[in-house]
């Protein structure tokens, strides 16, 4: 009887052991951390020595931030930290960090007035480096009447100090973290940068900002592998919604000058601007928050589905301009990158729509996936601009319009740097070369394009409407730079005859659209192009048929 009595206890132990194993095998919820940055304006005291800081505390409490980067702290740091129950790391009078997490080390660099940094330990034991920055500027370009629109040199000069300091800060951070063996720790760089973003002042948003400017401060961050959390989650520029300067001065130039940049095994899941308080917003800067998820490192090959389509400004072979029909074709492609040729922006013949932006929005509705839109104009036409676009499901780091020699029309190549899952940067280059039979001008454009490609530091994809035959000198030149993605039939065999043709859509007889891929000199990896390329049977929506290719980058992290 004593042996029998042991059975219930034995079964319970076995059950408990099995339950523990099951719990261990269940995937753990990914850890998240919410970071805020805010210039609180003279310690938050503009609305009263006690009332102002109290409102600052209320805004920060409503933000639900775990880590807070403050600028213009000016003696209010301890009061705010105590009210929130946070630790405080202050350096100088200006910048400070507040956090509910454990501060493992002070990793501050550069000038005490401009930079403070902390190494944090999160509840899971993971570590995170966070910096609060304040960068200077050289000239007032925000007050009414002070901005020299159209004078790019003057605009850049106004923010030259910001650009100079960010390079020094980034050098110092990289040196400090490497010295402590922390170079692979995820990093968040937060603060008031007193400069705008090159991701805002693009051709796509020219009507909103009036200028296309590659701001050196934000460009330096992108070139060092830092990503803009807010713009990744809000890819469609809306100047009034996005601005952090200034909720208190709406008559001034409204700009995004406060940022949360990051790099490493992080992914932004939510970001928003906070610029209201029931009793009156206490600062001249809006607050910015982002929630980051800590990721496992990605080591697997990175697959990209890329497409190219000359949409003829969405005018189908039935003569009807139908942007929704174009969007439905693009949705069927299920592509990560889509290069589009013959695109209108604000042109009367296509209802004066911003076609790149509208297509990105409609794709999001059709696919429930976020798309970043970029645009490069060839020329002004019929009340708007005409050129090419690129849509990307992957985050965009930079957009460049590369001017090519004029053909029968002006031409550019649209080069867009995008990030794969492990933050490898790939440059996608959309092209639309000259179209006449005499290839003299087209080949000159191809030669200029080849010079640009040879200077690239990242793996690249070249795709679009080349307006030339497979054995032409144009294609021969470009194939010498990389590999052409082979056109395949429905069974995966090399396509022949009509299966290769892309023009005209209803009865194709010409092969003039292509996808090529290459790498910088001395690559550490290679493209796997065995997935090939297929020409889709779409006979109506445009005069070209779309292409869809499957590419895999097997190389190492190239940042």
Mean pLDDT value across the chain: 93
Same structural domain, 457 and 473 = yes
> Helices 51-63 and 77-84: crossing angle, nearest 10°?
50
Decide if 203 is inside a domain. Answer: no
The predicted structure's pLDDT at residue 555:
72
Q: What is the mean pLDDT of residues 13-27?
A: 46
The predicted structure's pLDDT at residue 298:
58
Predicted confidence band at 417 (pLDDT cuts at 50, 70, 90)?
Answer: very high
Same structural domain, 440 and 350 = yes
Same structural domain, 286 and 318 = no
- Map tokens 């292509």 to a residue: 514
Neighbours of 507 (CB within 10 A): 9
For residue range 123-142, what is the model confidence (pLDDT) as tens digits? Answer: 999 999 999 999 999 999 99
Q: Is the pLDDT of residue 542 over 70?
A: yes
Q: What is the mean pLDDT of residues 56-80?
A: 98
For residue range 205-251, what is the model confidence (pLDDT) as tens digits? Answer: 999 999 999 999 999 999 999 999 999 999 999 999 999 999 999 99
Residue where a domain stops, chosen among 275, 294, 313? 294
Dihedrals phi, psi of 364, to nearest 5 degrees: -60, -40
The predicted structure's pLDDT at residue 525:
56
Same structural domain, 280 and 378 = no
**CATH code where residue 255 lies:** 3.60.10.10
Decide if 542 is inside a domain. Answer: yes
For residue range 423-478, what is the model confidence (pLDDT) as tens digits? Answer: 889 999 999 999 999 999 999 999 999 999 999 999 999 999 999 999 999 999 99
Predicted confidence band at 28 (pLDDT cuts at 50, 70, 90)?
Answer: low
For residue range 517-540, what is the model confidence (pLDDT) as tens digits? Answer: 999 875 555 799 999 999 999 999
Same structural domain, 232 and 264 = yes
3-state secondary structure of 441: helix
Same structural domain, 333 and 358 = yes
Structure tokens given for 474: 């144009």
The predicted structure's pLDDT at residue 423:
83
User: For the CA atoms of 312, 313, 318, 323, what is the dihedral angle to 10 degrees?
Assistant: 130
Q: Is the pLDDT of residue 414 over 90?
A: yes
Q: What is the mean pLDDT of residues 403-409?
A: 94
Structure tokens given for 368: 């429930």
Q: Is the pLDDT of residue 10 over 50?
A: no
Q: Is the pLDDT of residue 328 over 80?
A: yes
Predicted confidence band at 302 (pLDDT cuts at 50, 70, 90)?
Answer: confident
Decide if 307 is inside a domain. Answer: yes
Q: Is the pLDDT of residue 16 over 50?
A: no
| Pairwise CA distance, residues 264 & 259, whole Å | 17
The range of the structural domain enclosing residue 255 comes to 32-136+186-196+226-294
The predicted structure's pLDDT at residue 409:
92
Decide if 206 is inside a domain. Answer: no
The predicted structure's pLDDT at residue 481:
94
Same structural domain, 475 and 415 = yes
Q: Is the pLDDT of residue 187 over 70?
A: yes
Neighbours of 285 (CB within 10 A): 23
Q: What is the mean pLDDT of residues 68-90?
A: 98
Q: What is the mean pLDDT of residues 322-338?
A: 98
Predicted confidence band at 342 (pLDDT cuts at 50, 70, 90)?
Answer: very high
């Amino acid at each position: 009887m004593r042996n029998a009595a042991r059975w219930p206890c034995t079964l319970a132990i076995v059950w408990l052991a099995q339950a523990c194993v099951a719990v261990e095998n269940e995937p753990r919820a990914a850890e998240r951390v919410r970071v805020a940055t805010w210039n609180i304006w003279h310690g938050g005291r503009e609305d009263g020595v006690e009332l102002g800081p109290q409102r600052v505390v209320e805004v920060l409490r409503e933000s639900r931030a775990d880590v807070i980067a403050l600028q213009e702290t000016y003696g209010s740091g301890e009061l705010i930290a105590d009210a929130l129950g946070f630790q405080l790391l202050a350096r100088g009078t200006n910048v400070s960090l507040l956090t509910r997490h454990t501060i493992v080390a002070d990793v501050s660099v550069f000038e005490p007035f401009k930079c403070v940094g902390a190494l944090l330990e999160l509840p899971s034991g993971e570590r995170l480096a966070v910096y609060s920055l304040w960068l200077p500027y050289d000239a007032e370009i925000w007050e009414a009447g002070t901005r020299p629109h159209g004078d790019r040199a003057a605009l850049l000069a106004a923010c030259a100090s910001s650009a100079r300091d960010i390079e020094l800060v980034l050098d110092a951070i990289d040196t400090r973290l490497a010295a402590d063996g922390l170079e692979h720790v995820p990093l968040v760089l937060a603060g008031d940068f007193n400069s705008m973003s090159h991701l805002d002042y693009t051709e796509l948003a020219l009507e909103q900002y009036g200028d296309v400017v590659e701001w050196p401060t934000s460009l330096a961050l992108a070139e060092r592998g830092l990503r803009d959390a807010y713009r990744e989650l809000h890819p469609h520029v809306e100047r009034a919604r996005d601005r952090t300067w200034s909720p208190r001065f709406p008559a001034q130039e409204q700009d995004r000058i406060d940022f949360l940049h990051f790099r490493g095994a992080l992914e932004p899941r939510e970001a928003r601007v906070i610029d209201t308080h029931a009793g009156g917003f206490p600062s001249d800067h809006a607050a910015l928050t982002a929630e980051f998820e800590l990721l496992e490192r990605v080591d697997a090959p990175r697959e990209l589905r890329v497409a190219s389509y000359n949409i003829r400004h969405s005018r189908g072979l039935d003569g009807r301009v139908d942007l929704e029909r174009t969007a439905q074709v693009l949705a069927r492609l299920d592509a990560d990158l889509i290069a589009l040729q013959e695109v209108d922006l604000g042109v009367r013949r296509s209802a004066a729509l911003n076609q790149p932006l509208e297509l990105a929005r409609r794709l999001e509705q059709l696919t429930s996936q976020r798309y970043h839109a970029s645009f490069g104009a060839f020329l002004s036409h019929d009340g708007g601009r005409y050129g090419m676009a690129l849509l990307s499901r992957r985050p965009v780091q930079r957009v460049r319009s590369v001017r090519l020699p004029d053909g029968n029309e002006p031409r550019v190549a649209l080069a867009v740097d995008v990030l794969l899952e492990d933050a490898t940067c790939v440059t996608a280059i959309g092209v639309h070369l000259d179209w006449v039979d005499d290839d003299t001008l087209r080949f000159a454009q191809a030669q200029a394009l080849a010079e640009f490609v040879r200077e690239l530091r990242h793996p690249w994809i070249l795709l679009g409407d080349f307006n030339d035959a497979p054995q032409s000198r144009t294609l021969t030149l470009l194939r010498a730079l990389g590999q052409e993605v082979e056109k395949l039939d429905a069974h995966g065999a090399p396509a022949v005859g009509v299966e290769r043709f892309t023009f005209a859509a209803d009865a194709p007889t010409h092969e003039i659209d292509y996808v090529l891929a290459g790498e910088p000199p001395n690559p550490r990896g290679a493209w796997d192009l065995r997935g090939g390329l297929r020409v889709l049977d779409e006979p109506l929506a445009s005069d070209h048929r779309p292409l869809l290719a499957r590419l895999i980058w097997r190389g190492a992290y190239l940042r």
